[in-house]
Amino acid sequence: MNIAPVNALTEVLLSTQSTEVINNISASTISVLSPTPESIGGCVCAVGNGLLVVVELNGDISIYSICKIDAAEIN
């Protein structure tokens, strides 16, 4: 019976570089009267767990509570 030699990897060293993906994040909480007819001007990028995430036309990200949305018009 012939048994071939096996090369095994016994030690690994990874050289990684970090990259900054997002910078200058600011958050603000705005008190508004509820309910209020507010136009959402942007692209809905996620919906779930009671939240609606929108990328606004100016690049901002807005998060809305779905439980407070009574109606929606889609253009």
Q: Which stretches does DSSP call E strand in 15-67?
A: 42-48, 51-56, 61-65
Local confidence pLDDT in tens for the 75 residues of the chain: 677 777 777 888 888 887 777 777 777 777 766 666 667 778 888 888 888 888 988 888 888 887 766 666 665
Identify the pLDDT of residue 65: 80
Q: Is 51 inside any structural domain?
A: yes
Q: Is 55 inside any structural domain?
A: yes
- Structural domains in the chain (count): 1
Q: Is 10 inside any structural domain?
A: no
Domain span at 55: 34-70
Entry pTM = 0.46
> What does the block give as tokens for 75?
């253009």
